[in-house]
Structure 1
Amino acid sequence: MVTGVFDDLAAERGRLQRTSAAHQVAELLREHITAGALSPGTQLPEEALGTALGVSRNTLRESFRLLADQRLVVHEMNRGVFVRVLSADDVADIYVLRRALETAGIRAASVAPPERLAVLRVAVERGEAARVAADWVAVGTADLDFHLGIAALTGSERISEAMGRLLAELRLAFGAMPSAAELHEPFLRRNRTLAELLATGRIAEAEAELASYLDDACRGIVAAIRGDLEVTEC
């Protein structure tokens, strides 16, 4: 009976190989979304992408399905697949999860090894250097890396994985802002403040700063999407 099960699995080997390739393609596209190379609303044409990546349409379609499950792309009937454009409700929901994951990281900081805290300092310095170069896409990437580093203070691979996927969505939220400089400039300073609070063991202060930080960031993006400067809750 067991042999029969193995025979059935062997018959699915080709499907496994295609799925593995699809996961690799999905991961590559997600990295480009997180890096800001694929902005909200960008069309992902099957033929051009398949040729560029050297994969079949079936593999590409499976990767699109995976990205759709991660809320990063949408399929529009008779039009194709597009990088998702977030709504205000999407952004508010992202921040609900951000608060949970990053607060867990802050609370774990007192027992985190020094190398995890060092990641935060490096991300802050990268963001500040990118600001000097007026490379606001790179500033955004450094900001995402900083917050991924906060979640990673927990030492949980699952939290880090969830945060990585969430931050790919957050990059899409950045696209709602009319000015990348206005979005990132104030938070560069606050990233440094957070890093210094954690480095000196002021955990309660860091948690309070994080809560205020995320509230302000969420309200700013939601206000931009709604065209309403009076957003008071997020």
Structure 2
Amino acid sequence: MGTTGSEHGQLADDRALLGRTSTAERVADILRTRIAEGFFRPGGRLSEDSIGTALGVSRNTLREAFRLLTHERLLVHQLNRGVFVRVLAVEDVEDIYRTRRLVECAVVRGLGKPPFAVDGLRTAVIAGEQAAYVEDWQGVSTANIHFHRELVALARSVRTDELMRGVLAELRLAFHVVDDPRGLHEPYLVRNREILEALKEGKRDGAERLLAAYLDDSRTQLVRVYAGLLQDGDAVER
């Protein structure tokens, strides 16, 4: 499926974000956000004409943005067909979780002496709980991603932040094809709060154990569901 008129209009609203210094990196930022939000779905084709017109950028700039996002494994170029949002394989999902476990648990393990700076984590937990209250499961997913980005931010490492931004953006490609977002995300609201409370109390080792179990359970659940969707052919936009 290509870009629709509605998508064209929503992207046109993003045009102001480009400012007077339009660059491929800024276009990539916009498209990355839209992919993470599920605006462009896995398997969906990105129309150069529609997106370029909506954002008011040249074809060369847009192609460079596509190249950047292809390097981040969010897009794929198919010869003679165009550029598509990537559909993850089950092995991709498993590898993403291996990376998350290595990085996130290492961040918690490497924290210095308490108290820890948990304000960002607290904000993400509250946002997730508020989204769940109104049954906004996409909002819960977004808040959960923010929680884990804030967790990694405790390392105060720009490079680690950039690594996890890409890893978590890629993970959301799998989230967007799951047909039960509530079942996928709701159980982890309480576990996010448990990790937050452990860190507030200065219990670094306890927080790491909670986090490791959380990631293992999340991986098992998502791989099982996602593998079934791939088998049924439901992970690709029709």
Post-superposition shift, 1:79? 2.3
Are 1:139 and 2:140 counterparts? yes
Partner letter of residue 177 of structure 1?
Answer: V
- Structure 2 residue aligned with 1:186: 187
Partner letter of residue 204 of structure 2?
Answer: I
The whole-number CA distance in structure 1 between the counterparts of 2:119 and 2:79 is 47
Partner letter of residue 76 of structure 2?
Answer: V
Instruction: Name the SS for the 1:227 alignment partner.
Output: helix
Partner letter of residue 55 of structure 2?
Answer: L
Write out aligned runs for 1:193-232 (5 A): 193-227=194-228
Partner letter of residue 21 of structure 1?
Answer: T
- Structure 2 residue aligned with 1:72: 74
Cα gap change, 1:28/1:111 in structure 2, threshold over 3 Å: closer, same or farther?
farther
Instruction: Name the SS for the 2:108 alignment partner.
Output: helix
Q: 1:50 aligns with which of 40, 49, 52?
A: 52
Report if the CA contact (8 A) 1:104-1:151 is conserved.
no
- Structure 1 residue aligned with 2:178: 177
Report if the CA contact (8 A) 1:108-1:153 is conserved.
no
CA RMSD of aligned residues (A): 1.8
Write out per-residue CA displacement over residues 70-95 of structure 1, whole angstroms, 9 at most, x where no aligned residue.
Answer: 00011122322111111100001111
Partner letter of residue 143 of structure 1?
Answer: N
- Structure 2 residue aligned with 1:3: none
Superposition TM-score, scaled by structure 1 size: 0.84
Write out aligned runs for 1:99-138 (5 A): 99-111=101-113, 114=116, 116-138=117-139
Segment of structure 1 superposing worse, 219-228 or 175-184: 219-228
Identity %: 49
Post-superposition shift, 1:25? 0.8
Report if the CA contact (8 A) 1:71-1:169 is conserved.
yes
Segment of structure 1 superposing worse, 40-49 or 30-39: 30-39
Report if the CA contact (8 A) 1:178-1:224 is conserved.
no
Partner letter of residue 33 of structure 2?
Answer: E
Report if the CA contact (8 A) 1:26-1:66 is conserved.
yes
Report if the CA contact (8 A) 2:115-2:200 is conserved.
no
Write out per-residue CA displacement over residues 126-160 of structure 1, whole angstroms, 9 at most, x where no aligned residue.
Answer: 00101111111111110000000111111111101
- Structure 1 residue aligned with 2:42: 40
Instruction: Name the SS for the 1:51 alignment partner.
Output: helix
